[in-house]
Each structure stands twice: as C-alpha cells, then as structure tokens.
Structure 1
Amino acid sequence: MKKILLLIIIIIAVSCKNKAKKTSNKEAVQEVKRDNFPDELGKVFTKHGAIDAWRKAQVLSFNKGDEVHTVDLQTRKTVINHPKYSLGFDGNEVWLDETEEGSFKGDKNFYYNLFFYFYAMPFVLADDGITYSKAADLVFKGVNYPGYKISYDADKGSSPDDNYIIYYNPETYKMEWLAYTVTFNSKKPSNTYNLIKYDTWENVNGLLLPKEIQWYQKDEKGNLTEAEGTPLEFTLPLLSQGKLAASFFEKPNN
C-alpha cells in the first residue's frame, strides 16, 4: 500500500511539474558538473545506463524484505518503512519511530543509508568529494577483474574513512564486485575489506540496478573462497523524476 501511495504522489508531482510555467533562459541554465572519474569507470556507468540519466532522477525506492526504502536522490533524504518501525533522514537528523519500543534492532545512524549505497551501485561512486585510484585486479576462478578504489574527502558523510573498490568485467564493463570497509564505529581507516558479488541485475527505467547481491568469504590470505549465507534480494524498484515533498521524509507525528 505504501508503495502504491508513493507512486501516486510521484505521478501527481510529475503532472504538476509539467503544468508549471516555463522559466526564463537565465533560470533554466544549470551548473555544469565536471566529472573527475576515470574513463574506465565512465564506461561502467554507461553500461549501467549513463550517469546523466541517474542524475536526472529524483526518487529511488526499493524493497528489502519487509522494508520499503525511499530516497530523494538530490538531497539524500531517506525514509525506511517497516510494519513495526520507520526511520529516516530529514536532511538534518536521523530519526526513529517504532510501533513498540525495541522493534528496530541496530544503530539508526549507521543503518539508514547502508543498503541505499549497496543498491545504488555503481552510480553512487560518482558522487562529489571522491578520489579515485587504480586498484590491483581481483582474481576469482581464473578471471581478472580490474578495479578502482574510491576514497572520500574528510567532510563527506558520517564515515569519510570508508573505502570502496569497484571491480568490473574487462570485456563488458558491467560491475561485478564491490569491496568495502566499515569505519562507522571505529572512526579509523581500515584495510579489512568485505566482498560482495553483483551477479544479477535488472532494468529499472533504463538503468541497470542490482536485483540480487551475494557476500563472499575470504581465507587468511584475503583470497575469495565461497559464498557466505544466502543472496540478498531487492524487489519492487521504482525510479522517478517526480519530486517528493520535504514532509515525506519527516518523522511522523504520533
């Protein structure tokens, strides 16, 4: 039901936008964004539907189990709705609203955008404040996957010391793997990487977004061994150029 209501809201927003008065040429001029990502990553973004198409989108929504994640892509305001709780980021603070105390397990500040980053790959790796450096190939089952390391400026986000490494297929340029560190609690850089296999994708309004991701185990030498647990599936994706009101992301008044 919440997904249907979201779709209705977006349709209305798009309709209102189309009826709005035309702006002057001066108002219509947009700031030119200068990209600094490597050419190879540009090819990855193009393979997944083009970075320009991603930047035109306003709202992204997807389901993870019983959770409905909705994100304003321009402001990164977020709401996660679950039958027993809701949490989100309203642009200023992260909030939590539970039907009964203790329904949500975890740290809301760490969790609210965690799966957005995993789901919005590879496009979130073109955000502002990123430094790119070539990484050693990832080798798995005799295949070499080229990679780029992503690090962040000190003023970006709550965990600027987090690092990612994206690995892609050298022939198709489709994203295949993601390595990432977790520094939210320690607030210190880490060289311990977790590995996710991006194996199943689906077309969502022209963009290739993940349908299923799989964590992998490593041995004491850091080599990939086997899949860990069951794959995580994302369902009911929605990507729109319609804008949601700021109140959508505010904590409910009970």
Structure 2
Amino acid sequence: MIGLGTVINVAAVLVGSTLGLLLGHRLPQQTRDVVTDGLGLVTLLVAALNAAAVLDAGLAAQVGDSAPVLIVLGAVLIGGIVGSLVRVEDRLRALGAVLQRRFGGRPRAAGGHLPGDADTAERRERFVQGFLTASLLFVVGPLTILGSLSDGLGLGIDQLALKSVLDGFASVAFAASLGVGVMASALTVAVVQGGLTLVGFLLGDVLPDAHVSALTATGGLLLVGVAIRLLRLRDVPVGDLLPALLVAPLLVEVVARAG
C-alpha cells in the first residue's frame, strides 16, 4: 500500500506526543530543560553524520574534488535568499499560530478567568516553538526524502518505518518539554512526506546518488541550525533555509553538465 509509511510516521508522532504530554506536566522545568538540551546534542550528532555526506566519493567523482563544499555553500546561500524573500519562516510561524488558536485553545486562570495577554502570548510562542522545532526535525533529513520516494515507487517502507521509530521516541521527549505544538507537527509530516510519496509515484524514478549526497549534506547543515535553536544559543531561521534542499541537487546537475 503506497503511502503506508507516512501513515505509520504520522501515527508515531501523535502517539509519542500524547505520551510526552501526559508525562510532561509531571516533570519539573529543570528536567524539561535538560531533556531539550539532550535532544539538541543528539540532533547535533545526527547533523554531523549527515553533513559528512559532503565527503562522499560519488559526489566528488561527479562534480570534482573541490566542488562539493562549494555546492553546499551555494545551496545554503541561494536557498536562504529565496526562503527569506518568500518568508518561509514567518509563514511557518503563522501556520503554527493558527493551529494554536484552533487546537490549543485559550487557557484559563484560577477561578475561570482568562489570563492576561502576556500569559496567552507566552503559551502561543511555546506552541509555535514546539511546532516549528518538531516539524523541521521530522522533515529535514535523507530518510524523509529517500523513504518517501521509495514508498511512492512501491519499493517498500523500510526507511520510513525506521524514521517512524526515531520520530516516535523524539516526539515523546519534545512534547514533554515543548508542549502540544509538537503534536501539530504531525500535519507537517503528513503534507511533506505525502507530497514526496506522490512525487515518487508520478515520476517513477529516484535522484542519482551524487544528488542525494549533496541534499543530505545540506540537510545536515540545516539540522545544525535546529540543534542551535534547541540549545537556545541562537534563533536560527531554519525555515528560511529549507529551499536549500531543492537547490543542492540542482547545483550538482549544473556543475556536472558544465564539467
């Protein structure tokens, strides 16, 4: 059944988020902060492993030994410019705010009175942060691209099954520390992976290995940005950098043809 991998992944995020929400309020804030820091460090490790794809021999053979790093650099710069001009990060934040208003509800203070604007704004920001962070982590990476395309081609859901397990455990920790916004990221997973599965079904082909390596390395750098956000070092606008994932394979094709 084509699309089953995405269905399993969405279910894993929803179940994991529910468990995290049930557990989260029982944990002190310091414990939640430690969990978030741990997730940031693990994300940094995954990012480093992905970024190492820039050293892939197949990519170097396709574009030359000195070009891979320049391709990733060009992809990040061009993708960042495009993403900032179309305001990808702002649009993701706006979507998160809409979902918060729709599903997060307005909290009530003791005695049934609505809290002040500051409390509401803080809760909304926490929802948006959870939605953005989880969405970016769950959809940025080679397993998302390759697994969804393989699912669409009818080659099996092994990669998405593995990703579902990883995302399920991650969503428990994320929801415990970042709240209900993490659950809303299941919508992002459904749209992105469902769309890529459809692309694989329609095109009937996958990206060449060199293109995948460039995309993986670029995705690794974006995950570094996610890790920096989780570690509360800097609010890197990773959403604005997402177009780099499309630019990287295109640059490989351009350089390969020019050579």
Query: How high is the TM-score relative to the length of structure 1?
Result: 0.28
| Greater RCO, CA 8 A, separation 6+ | 2
Q: Which has the higher helix share?
A: 2
Higher strand share: 1
Give the TM-score, by structure 2 length. Answer: 0.28
